[in-house]
Protein backbone atom coordinates (compact mmCIF):
# COMPACT_ATOMS: atom_id res chain seq x y z
CA UNK A 1 0.00 0.00 0.00
CA UNK A 2 2.86 2.29 0.85
CA UNK A 3 4.58 1.57 -2.46
CA UNK A 4 1.42 2.34 -4.40
CA UNK A 5 0.96 5.64 -2.64
CA UNK A 6 4.58 6.52 -3.26
CA UNK A 7 4.35 5.77 -6.96
CA UNK A 8 1.10 7.68 -7.27
CA UNK A 9 2.57 10.67 -5.47
CA UNK A 10 5.58 10.62 -7.79
CA UNK A 11 3.35 10.52 -10.84
CA UNK A 12 1.35 13.45 -9.52
CA UNK A 13 4.49 15.48 -8.93
CA UNK A 14 5.94 14.77 -12.36
CA UNK A 15 2.74 15.70 -14.16
CA UNK A 16 2.68 19.06 -12.42
CA UNK A 17 6.17 20.08 -13.38
CA UNK A 18 6.36 22.03 -16.64
CA UNK A 19 7.65 19.36 -18.96
CA UNK A 20 9.68 21.28 -21.48
CA UNK A 21 11.44 24.55 -21.40
CA UNK A 22 11.36 26.81 -24.43
CA UNK A 23 14.10 26.22 -26.99
CA UNK A 24 15.79 29.52 -26.18
CA UNK A 25 16.78 28.36 -22.70
CA UNK A 26 20.21 29.86 -22.97
CA UNK A 27 19.28 33.39 -24.05
CA UNK A 28 21.70 35.80 -22.39
CA UNK A 29 21.32 39.38 -21.26
CA UNK A 30 24.81 40.22 -22.43
CA UNK A 31 23.92 39.66 -26.09
CA UNK A 32 21.11 42.21 -26.02
CA UNK A 33 21.64 45.50 -27.74
CA UNK A 34 21.49 48.57 -25.52
CA UNK A 35 19.51 50.49 -28.08
CA UNK A 36 16.83 52.10 -25.95
CA UNK A 37 17.13 55.33 -24.10
CA UNK A 38 15.18 55.11 -20.85
CA UNK A 39 14.70 57.56 -18.03
CA UNK A 40 12.77 57.02 -14.82
CA UNK A 41 12.46 60.05 -12.60
CA UNK A 42 10.42 60.29 -9.42
CA UNK A 43 8.14 63.32 -9.25
CA UNK A 44 10.37 64.74 -6.51
CA UNK A 45 14.08 63.95 -6.48
CA UNK A 46 15.80 62.63 -3.35
CA UNK A 47 12.51 61.75 -1.64
CA UNK A 48 11.44 58.22 -0.71
CA UNK A 49 8.36 57.33 -2.75
CA UNK A 50 5.33 55.83 -1.08
CA UNK A 51 3.85 52.76 -2.72
CA UNK A 52 0.33 53.36 -3.95
CA UNK A 53 0.67 57.14 -3.75
CA UNK A 54 3.71 58.66 -5.44
CA UNK A 55 4.52 58.67 -9.15
CA UNK A 56 7.48 58.05 -11.40
CA UNK A 57 7.70 59.65 -14.83
CA UNK A 58 9.10 57.09 -17.26
CA UNK A 59 10.26 57.97 -20.78
CA UNK A 60 11.66 55.69 -23.44
CA UNK A 61 12.70 56.04 -27.06
CA UNK A 62 15.11 54.54 -29.51
CA UNK A 63 18.69 55.80 -29.08
CA UNK A 64 19.58 58.23 -31.80
CA UNK A 65 23.22 57.14 -31.57
CA UNK A 66 22.37 53.53 -32.34
CA UNK A 67 22.21 51.60 -35.63
CA UNK A 68 19.72 52.86 -38.20
CA UNK A 69 17.33 49.89 -38.15
CA UNK A 70 18.01 48.68 -34.59
CA UNK A 71 14.26 48.61 -33.97
CA UNK A 72 13.37 46.60 -37.07
CA UNK A 73 12.40 43.50 -35.07
CA UNK A 74 10.64 45.23 -32.17
CA UNK A 75 7.00 44.27 -31.74
CA UNK A 76 6.42 45.17 -28.07
CA UNK A 77 8.14 47.22 -25.43
CA UNK A 78 8.02 45.85 -21.90
CA UNK A 79 8.90 48.31 -19.15
CA UNK A 80 9.89 46.83 -15.82
CA UNK A 81 10.82 47.94 -12.34
CA UNK A 82 14.20 46.53 -11.33
CA UNK A 83 16.15 46.14 -8.09
CA UNK A 84 19.36 48.07 -7.63
CA UNK A 85 22.31 45.98 -6.32
CA UNK A 86 21.88 47.41 -2.84
CA UNK A 87 18.41 45.84 -2.63
CA UNK A 88 19.75 42.49 -3.84
CA UNK A 89 22.23 42.00 -1.00
CA UNK A 90 21.51 38.83 1.02
CA UNK A 91 18.37 38.20 -1.02
CA UNK A 92 19.05 35.37 -3.48
CA UNK A 93 15.47 35.54 -4.80
CA UNK A 94 16.37 38.87 -6.44
CA UNK A 95 19.68 37.71 -7.91
CA UNK A 96 20.93 38.89 -11.30
CA UNK A 97 21.74 36.08 -13.73
CA UNK A 98 23.04 36.48 -17.24
CA UNK A 99 20.62 33.81 -18.49
CA UNK A 100 17.38 35.70 -19.01
CA UNK A 101 15.08 32.91 -17.88
CA UNK A 102 16.93 32.70 -14.54
CA UNK A 103 17.32 36.42 -14.04
CA UNK A 104 15.33 37.81 -11.12
CA UNK A 105 16.45 41.45 -11.25
CA UNK A 106 13.25 42.82 -12.76
CA UNK A 107 10.20 40.96 -11.43
CA UNK A 108 7.70 43.85 -11.50
CA UNK A 109 6.11 44.79 -14.81
CA UNK A 110 5.12 48.42 -15.22
CA UNK A 111 3.62 48.35 -18.69
CA UNK A 112 3.75 46.33 -21.90
CA UNK A 113 2.86 48.18 -25.09
CA UNK A 114 3.11 47.59 -28.82
CA UNK A 115 6.19 49.28 -30.17
CA UNK A 116 5.73 52.83 -31.33
CA UNK A 117 8.60 54.55 -33.10
CA UNK A 118 7.83 57.84 -31.35
CA UNK A 119 9.27 58.67 -27.91
CA UNK A 120 6.91 57.48 -25.16
CA UNK A 121 6.21 58.84 -21.72
CA UNK A 122 4.24 57.46 -18.79
CA UNK A 123 3.37 58.74 -15.33
CA UNK A 124 3.27 55.58 -13.27
CA UNK A 125 1.94 55.37 -9.73
CA UNK A 126 4.02 52.92 -7.74
CA UNK A 127 1.92 49.75 -7.23
CA UNK A 128 0.63 48.84 -3.78
CA UNK A 129 2.55 45.58 -3.67
CA UNK A 130 6.00 46.97 -4.48
CA UNK A 131 8.37 46.12 -1.62
CA UNK A 132 10.60 48.60 0.16
CA UNK A 133 13.82 49.02 -1.80
CA UNK A 134 15.95 50.95 -4.25
CA UNK A 135 15.04 50.70 -7.92
CA UNK A 136 15.69 51.68 -11.51
CA UNK A 137 13.65 51.20 -14.68
CA UNK A 138 14.46 48.93 -17.59
CA UNK A 139 12.71 48.53 -20.93
CA UNK A 140 13.03 45.42 -23.12
CA UNK A 141 12.41 45.44 -26.85
CA UNK A 142 10.65 42.19 -27.69
CA UNK A 143 10.31 40.63 -31.12
CA UNK A 144 7.42 38.73 -32.68
CA UNK A 145 8.46 35.44 -31.02
CA UNK A 146 8.36 36.96 -27.54
CA UNK A 147 12.16 37.04 -27.32
CA UNK A 148 14.04 39.97 -25.87
CA UNK A 149 16.29 41.54 -28.49
CA UNK A 150 17.26 44.86 -26.96
CA UNK A 151 17.05 46.81 -23.75
CA UNK A 152 17.59 50.19 -22.16
CA UNK A 153 17.70 51.24 -18.55
CA UNK A 154 17.47 54.43 -16.55
CA UNK A 155 20.64 53.62 -14.62
CA UNK A 156 24.25 53.04 -15.66
CA UNK A 157 25.84 49.63 -16.33
CA UNK A 158 26.81 49.17 -12.69
CA UNK A 159 23.28 50.17 -11.68
CA UNK A 160 24.46 52.71 -9.14
CA UNK A 161 23.21 56.01 -10.59
CA UNK A 162 19.76 57.52 -11.07
CA UNK A 163 18.13 55.25 -8.54
CA UNK A 164 15.02 55.99 -6.54
CA UNK A 165 13.71 54.51 -3.31
CA UNK A 166 10.29 53.18 -2.49
CA UNK A 167 8.70 52.62 0.90
CA UNK A 168 6.15 49.80 0.84
CA UNK A 169 2.77 49.87 2.53
CA UNK A 170 2.76 48.10 5.84
CA UNK A 171 -0.29 45.99 5.03
CA UNK A 172 -1.36 46.24 8.63
CA UNK A 173 -4.64 47.71 9.83
CA UNK A 174 -5.86 48.80 13.22
CA UNK A 175 -8.76 46.36 12.89
CA UNK A 176 -6.30 43.47 12.49
CA UNK A 177 -4.39 44.53 15.57
CA UNK A 178 -7.60 44.77 17.59
CA UNK A 179 -8.72 41.34 16.36
CA UNK A 180 -5.33 39.87 17.36
CA UNK A 181 -5.65 41.28 20.85
CA UNK A 182 -9.23 40.12 21.26
CA UNK A 183 -8.55 36.56 20.13
CA UNK A 184 -5.42 36.33 22.25
CA UNK A 185 -7.16 37.56 25.37
CA UNK A 186 -10.01 35.14 24.69
CA UNK A 187 -7.57 32.20 24.47
CA UNK A 188 -5.75 33.04 27.67
CA UNK A 189 -8.87 33.88 29.66
CA UNK A 190 -10.63 30.68 28.63
CA UNK A 191 -7.55 28.75 29.75
CA UNK A 192 -7.81 30.33 33.20
CA UNK A 193 -11.54 29.59 33.33
CA UNK A 194 -10.89 25.93 32.55
CA UNK A 195 -8.19 25.74 35.24
CA UNK A 196 -10.51 27.14 37.86
CA UNK A 197 -13.26 24.71 36.83
CA UNK A 198 -10.83 21.79 37.11
CA UNK A 199 -9.77 22.80 40.60
CA UNK A 200 -13.41 23.07 41.69
CA UNK A 201 -14.17 19.66 40.23
CA UNK A 202 -11.20 18.15 42.02
CA UNK A 203 -12.32 19.67 45.31
CA UNK A 204 -15.78 18.19 44.79
CA UNK A 205 -14.25 14.79 44.20
CA UNK A 206 -12.30 15.08 47.41
CA UNK A 207 -15.44 15.72 49.40
CA UNK A 208 -17.24 12.68 48.01
Partner 1 sequence: MEVEGKGGEAGTTTTATRRFALPVDAENKSTTFRLFSVAKPHMRAFHLSWFQFFCCFVSTFAAPPLLPIIRENLNLTATDIGNAGIASVSGSVFARIVMGTACDLFGPRLASAALTLSTAPAVYFTAGIKSPIGFIMVRFFAGFSLATFVSTQFWMSSMFSGPVVGSANGIAAGWGNLGGGATQLIMPIVFSLIRRMGATKFTAWRIAFFIPGLFQTLSAFAVLLFGQDLPDGDYWAMHKSGEREKDDVGKVISNGISNYRGWITALAYGYCFGVELTIDNIIAEYFFDRFHLNLQTAGIIAASFGLANFFARPGGGIFSDLMARRFGMRGRLWAWWIVQTLGGVLCAFLGQIHSLTWSIVVMLIFSVFVQAACGLTFGVVPFISRRSLGVISGMTGAGGNVGAVLTQLIFFKGSTYSRETGITLMGIMSIACSLPICFIYFPQWGGMFCGPSSKKVTEEDYYLAEWSSKEKAKNLHLASQKFAETSVSERGRASTHPQT
Burial class (CB in 10 A: 0-12, 13-18, 19+), 39: middle
Would you count residue 91 as binding partner 1 (CB under 8 A)? yes
Q: Which of 92, 114, 144, 158 binds partner 1 (CB under 8 A)?
A: 92
C-alpha 111/C-alpha 3 separation (Å) is 50
Q: How far is the CB of 75 from partner 1 (least distance, A)?
A: 25
How many residues appear in the chain? 208
Q: Confirm or reject binding of residue 24 to partner 1 (CB under 8 A).
A: no
| In contact, 109 and 145? CB cutoff 8 Å | no
Give the Cα-Cα-Cα angle 169, 175, 178 (nearest 5 degrees): 120
As measured in angstroms, the least distance from the Cβ of 129 to partner 1 is 5
Number of H helices, E strands in the chain: 2, 9
Three-state secondary-structure class, residue 12 = helix
Q: What is the spatial distance between Cα 14 and Cα 20, in angstroms, rounded to a whole number?
A: 12
**Nearest to residue 79, comparing CAs of 156, 152, 163?**
152
44 binds partner 1 (CB under 8 A): no
Judged by CB under 8 A, the number of residues near partner 1 is 51
Per rule CB under 8 A, is residue 20 in the interface with partner 1?
no
> x/- contact string, 124-153, with partner 1 (CB under 8 A)?
----xx-xxx--------------------
- Using rule CB under 8 A, residue 15 touches partner 1: no
- Closest contact distance (angstroms) between CB of 3 and partner 1 is 10
Q: Which residues bind partner 1 (CB under 8 A)?
A: 1-2, 5-6, 9-10, 13-14, 16-18, 89-93, 101-102, 128-129, 131-133, 168-173, 176-177, 179-181, 183-184, 186-188, 190-191, 194-195, 198-199, 201-203, 205-206, 208
Amino acid sequence: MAIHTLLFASLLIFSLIPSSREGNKGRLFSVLQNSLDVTGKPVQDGVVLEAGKDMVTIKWKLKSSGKVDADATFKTIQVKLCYAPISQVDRPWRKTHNELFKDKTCPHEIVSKPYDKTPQSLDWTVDLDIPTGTYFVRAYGIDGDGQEVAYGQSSDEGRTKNLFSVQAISGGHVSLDIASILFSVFSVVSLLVFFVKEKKKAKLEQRE
